[in-house]
Every structure is written in structure tokens, then in C-alpha cells.
């Protein structure tokens, strides 16, 4: 790729690709997260009525976690074929594999109808969803990064990440609308199915939208020059790019901490720790998710302008400070002292969480194109399965030692690690070297 091509502005085709990819990602991620918004209802309907409440909730969240455990398997398989036969085919297949189980979830019989077969069918659907999302997210980042000019990879990955976070917001809004429109009994009777049926329709819409996308120029160039990996792509990744895998897993750990702790866990934590009313906590969380979505795009622009590694290091320090400010403000509030409004604190923290949108572009640049999909998918999904599942447990254990600041300590420690990692990245990853970003250099 020439320097002129690397530095050209985004054209109409680039913008259409980014828009369609982000919209499809939002619809698919909605399918994956909507489960958690109805976890209590699902636990009531899919397990025996005499099950103790604590065990019902444990089983329900265990089913949710099963989706995370299936991510590496789906990611590795789809990445293998994405590196061998094409990015677009896997990019379309992943959203189809997500939409069908989501649609099926809305049609499943409950325990009252099918007995123990009901939770087993629910488990199978969650495993299929996890496998699909494991291929979708890394595939989407690779797809958009190989469509745009090399110097716009930061913006491309951040726009796609913004689409994924918008899926979380969409799930929250749909769940709120269901709870406002129906009584608790109506939700148990039928209304709980509506978000899943809607998600299945969303997924099929995303499949239709992706038919307008084209294979990436980078993959087409590799195929024309016969530069596709001649061996198992994952084998080449583990043999030749072990350091890149470790760096990618550590950066992904920071990403999981920011999303899982600050966005997903904090609304529940602050209700229990600081007696914040549920309505206030959820409203603040929605605003934080909105600022997160907007912030992803702005951080992506900054990464392309000033360098992804530099922006990531500074952004991690900002996230560290804002997370401590959020929990310090809540501590003051619980002590009946003057404190900044929760809405403002959470909105600023949500914006700082958006620094995670820079991480994918740095991981994309860490692997040469013939094994890029496999390298990114293996690193990201394995890290998310290990650390994403471990995060709630670690934070819960830390609460015994630091009842008010444990979430901030956990996020802060990983922010420091990621900031140090960012400033020690290899030069080609820091600078976003056009040749490597274009994917036509590097050992395979």
C-alpha cells in the first residue's frame, strides 16, 4: 500500500462499510446481552419452582457465563476459515448463527411444559450464541480495519466498538420498555419472549444488511498473490507471534475490566454498597453507556491523529482517575456529605471507559494479515473467557478487604498495567506502520 493510499480520507464506500458493520454489530450484541436483563424471569421459568432462590440465580448466571466459555471455540473455528476462505463469509455467518438461537430462545418451552429439558435447551442456545459472538467481534474488527486506509484503522475499530456498546444500550432500553409496558405477571406469562423474538428479527436484518458488503481489499490482494497461510493459521500464530498474543490478552483483560466492572456490575454494586435507588442507578448507567458509545468514536479519531499507544496510555490514566472519583463520590454521598451528582460522575466515567475502543486497533496491527483473524480471535476470546468470567468473583472477594473502593482498585490496577504496556509496544504497532497494517508484510 502506498503512502498516499494509506493517508487518503475516508470515501463514501468506507463510510457505508463502517455504518453497516457497526449497525450489524449493535444488533448482534443486543442478541447476546438481552439475556442478562431478563435473568430473574428466566430463572423463575426454566428451573423447578422449589429451587432455592440463591441456587436459581446461580444456575441462571451460569447459563449466561456458558456463552462466554463457548466464545474461544467459535472464535477459533471462524477465524481459521476467515483466514483461509475470506473475511466476509465468516462475518455474515456469525450474525446468522447468533440470530437463529436468539429467535429460538423466544420460542422455548419452560420448565412447566418441558421439565428438565427446558434448561438444557436453554444451555444449548447460549452455547451457540457464545460461539457466534466469539467469531463476530474479532471478525468485525478485522473486516473494517482492512477496508479503510491504514491511517484510519483506529477510527474504524472504534466505530465498530461504539456499535457494540450501542447494542448494550439498546438491550437496556428494550428491557425498560417491557417492564414499563407489562405487569410482572404478564412478563412471566408471555412478554419475556418479546425481546428475544425481536432480537431474532434484528439478527436476520443484520444478515440482510451484510449482503451489501464486499470482501476486504487486503484479503483479495493476498488471494491474488497466493499469500494465504499455507498451514493452520493458529499454529503459525502460536509459533511465530507468542509475544503479540500475550500483549493482546493483557490489553483485552483491561477491556473486560472496564466493561464488566464499570458498565455491567456497577449499577448493581452501588445499589447494594451505597443504597442508591434502582431507578437512579439504571438511569445513570444508561447515560454512561451513551457517553461510552460517543467516546469510542472520539478516542478513535485521537488515536489516528496522535498514535494509538499514546492515546491508550493517557486514556487508561483518565479511566483510573474517573473510576476512583465515581466511587469516592458515592462514599461521600453514603456518609451524608456533599458529593457531585451520580449522573455526572457516571457519565464522565463512561466516557473514559471508551478508551477500550482503541485497544482493538492496536491488536489488529500486532498480527500480519494472513493470520490476523486467528491471532486477534484467539487472544481476545481466550482472555475474555478467562478474565471476563473471573472478574466478578475477584471484585466480590476484594469487597471484603475494601468495601467502598474494591471495584476502583481492580480497574485501576489494570489501567496502570495497560498504560505501561502501551508505552512499551513495538514501534510498528505504535506507529501503525502502513505496510504491516495493510497486511502484506510480516512472517507467516
Q: Tell me the per-residue pLDDT of 353-405, one tens digit each, with 9 for 90 and over.
A: 999 999 999 999 999 988 898 999 999 999 988 887 788 878 888 988 888 89
Q: Which residues contact 138 (CB under 8 A, 6 or more apart)?
A: 75, 79, 373, 376, 377, 380, 381
Would you give the DSSP letter of residue 182? S
Would you give the DSSP letter of residue 396? H
Q: Which residues contact 8 (CB under 8 A, 6 or more apart)?
A: 149
Pairwise pLDDT comparison (438 vs 269), residue with the higher score: 269
Closest CA to 48 of 134, 100, 95, 115: 115
Q: Alpha-carbon distance 77 to 192, whole Å?
A: 32
Q: Alpha-carbon distance 54 to 37, whole Å?
A: 17
Of 50-59, 230-239, 307-316, 431-440, the poorest mean pLDDT is in 431-440
* pLDDT score recorded for residue 410: 96
Buried b (16+ CB within 10 A) or exposed e, 343-356: eebbbbbbbbbbbb
Q: How far is CA 109 from CA 57, 119, 195, 266, in A?
A: 19, 9, 16, 33
Q: How far is CA 147 from CA 17, 58, 166, 276, 384, in A?
A: 8, 43, 22, 45, 26
Which range among 145-149, 236-240, 322-326, 377-381 has the greatest average pLDDT? 322-326
Q: Alpha-carbon distance 244 to 408, whole Å?
A: 28
Dihedral over Cα of 266, 133, 159, 358: its sign: positive
Q: In this structure, are residues 395 and 410 in contact, taking their beta carbons and an 8 Å threshold?
A: yes
Q: In this structure, are residues 260 and 392 in contact, taking their beta carbons and an 8 Å threshold?
A: yes
* pLDDT score recorded for residue 107: 94
Q: In this structure, are residues 153 and 364 in contact, taking their beta carbons and an 8 Å threshold?
A: yes
Q: Which residues contact 376 (CB under 8 A, 6 or more apart)?
A: 79, 138, 141, 142, 248, 360, 363, 364, 367
Question: Which ranges in 115-261 belong to alpha helices (H)?
Answer: 117-145, 153-181, 184-186, 193-210, 217-224, 233-240, 242-257
Show the domains of the chain with their CATH numbers.
3-438 (1.20.1250.20)
* pLDDT score recorded for residue 436: 45
Buried b (16+ CB within 10 A) or exposed e, 220-244: ebbeeeebbbeeebbebbeebbeeb
Q: In this structure, are residues 372 and 439 in contact, taking their beta carbons and an 8 Å threshold?
A: yes
> pTM value?
0.84
Q: Alpha-carbon distance 307 to 218, whole Å?
A: 22
Angle at 377 between CA 212 and CA 303, to 5 degrees: 75
Residue 441: pLDDT band with limits 50, 70, 90: very low
Which range among 137-151, 184-198, 315-329 has the greatest average pLDDT? 315-329
Q: Alpha-carbon distance 188 to 244, whole Å?
A: 48
Residue 180: pLDDT band with limits 50, 70, 90: confident
Would you give the DSSP letter of residue 168? H
User: Does residue 229 register a pLDDT over 90?
Assistant: no
User: Does residue 25 register a pLDDT over 60?
Assistant: yes
Angle at 259 between CA 297 and CA 54, to 5 degrees: 155
Residue 227: pLDDT band with limits 50, 70, 90: low
Helices 278-306 and 153-181, packing angle to 10 deg: 170
Q: Alpha-carbon distance 88 to 90, whole Å?
A: 5
Residue 433: pLDDT band with limits 50, 70, 90: very low
Burial grade of 339 (CB within 10 A; 0-12, 13-18, 19 or more): middle
Helices 53-69 and 117-145, packing angle to 10 deg: 40
Rg for the chain, CA atoms, rounded: 21
* Mean pLDDT value across residues 156-161: 93
Query: How is residue 117 written as a grid cell?
Result: 429439558
* Mean pLDDT value across residues 101-117: 92
Q: Alpha-carbon distance 39 to 44, whole Å?
A: 9
Amino acid at each position: 500500500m502506498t503512502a498516499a493510499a494509506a493517508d487518503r480520507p475516508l470515501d463514501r464506500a468506507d463510510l457505508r462499510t463502517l455504518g453497516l458493520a457497526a449497525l450489524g454489530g449493535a444488533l448482534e450484541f443486543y442478541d447476546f446481552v438481552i439475556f442478562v436483563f431478563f435473568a430473574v424471569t428466566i430463572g423463575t421459568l426454566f428451573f423447578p419452582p422449589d429451587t432455592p432462590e440463591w441456587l436459581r440465580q446461580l444456575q441462571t448466571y451460569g447459563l449466561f457465563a456458558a456463552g462466554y466459555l463457548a466464545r474461544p471455540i467459535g472464535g477459533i473455528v471462524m477465524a481459521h476459515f476467515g483466514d483461509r476462505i475470506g473475511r466476509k463469509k465468516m462475518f455474515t455467518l456469525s450474525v446468522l448463527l447468533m440470530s437463529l438461537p436468539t429467535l429460538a430462545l423466544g420460542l422455548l418451552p419452560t420448565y412447566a411444559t418441558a421439565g428438565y429439558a427446558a434448561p438444557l435447551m436453554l444451555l444449548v442456545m447460549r452455547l451457540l450464541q457464545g460461539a457466534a459472538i466469539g467469531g463476530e467481534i474479532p471478525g468485525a474488527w478485522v473486516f473494517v480495519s482492512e477496508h479503510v486506509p491504514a491511517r484510519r484503522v483506529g477510527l474504524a475499530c472504534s466505530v465498530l466498538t461504539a456499535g457494540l456498546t450501542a447494542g448494550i444500550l439498546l438491550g437496556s432500553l428494550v428491557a425498560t420498555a417491557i417492564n414499563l409496558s407489562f405487569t410482572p405477571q404478564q412478563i412471566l406469562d408471555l412478554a419475556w419472549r418479546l425481546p428475544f423474538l425481536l432480537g431474532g428479527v434484528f439478527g436476520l436484518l443484520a444478515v440482510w444488511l451484510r449482503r451489501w458488503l464486499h470482501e476486504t481489499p487486503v484479503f483479495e490482494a493476498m488471494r491474488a498473490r497466493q499469500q494465504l497461510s499455507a498451514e493452520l493459521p493458529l499454529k503459525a500464530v502460536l509459533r511465530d507471534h507468542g509475544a503479540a498474543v500475550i500483549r493482546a490478552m493483557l490489553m483485552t483483560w483491561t477491556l473486560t475490566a472496564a466493561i464488566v466492572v464499570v458498565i455491567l456490575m456497577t449499577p448493581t454494586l452501588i445499589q447494594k454498597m451505597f443504597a442508591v435507588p434502582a431507578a437512579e442507578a439504571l438511569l445513570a448507567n444508561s447515560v454512561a453507556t451513551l457517553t461510552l458509545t460517543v467516546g469510542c468514536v472520539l478516542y478513535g479519531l485521537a488515536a489516528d491523529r496522535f498514535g494509538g499507544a499514546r492515546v491508550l496510555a493517557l486514556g487508561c490514566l483518565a479511566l483510573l482517575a474517573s473510576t476512583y472519583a465515581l466511587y469516592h463520590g458515592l462514599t461521600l454521598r453514603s456518609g451524608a456529605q456533599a458529593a457531585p451528582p451520580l449522573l455526572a460522575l457516571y457519565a464522565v466515567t463512561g466516557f473514559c471507559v471508551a478508551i477500550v475502543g482503541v485497544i482493538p486497533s492496536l491488536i489488529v496491527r500486532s498480527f500480519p494479515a494472513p493470520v490476523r483473524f486467528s491471532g486477534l480471535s484467539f487472544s481476545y476470546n481466550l482472555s475474555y473467557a478467562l478474565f471476563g468470567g473471573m472478574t466478578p468473583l475477584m471484585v466480590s472477594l476484594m469487597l471484603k478487604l475494601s468495601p467502598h473502593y474494591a471495584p476502583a482498585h481492580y480497574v485501576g490496577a489494570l489501567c496502570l498495567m495497560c498504560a505501561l504496556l502501551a508505552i512499551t509496544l513495538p514501534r510498528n504497532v505504535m506507529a501503525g506502520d502502513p505496510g504491516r497494517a495493510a497486511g502484506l508484510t510480516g512472517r507467516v
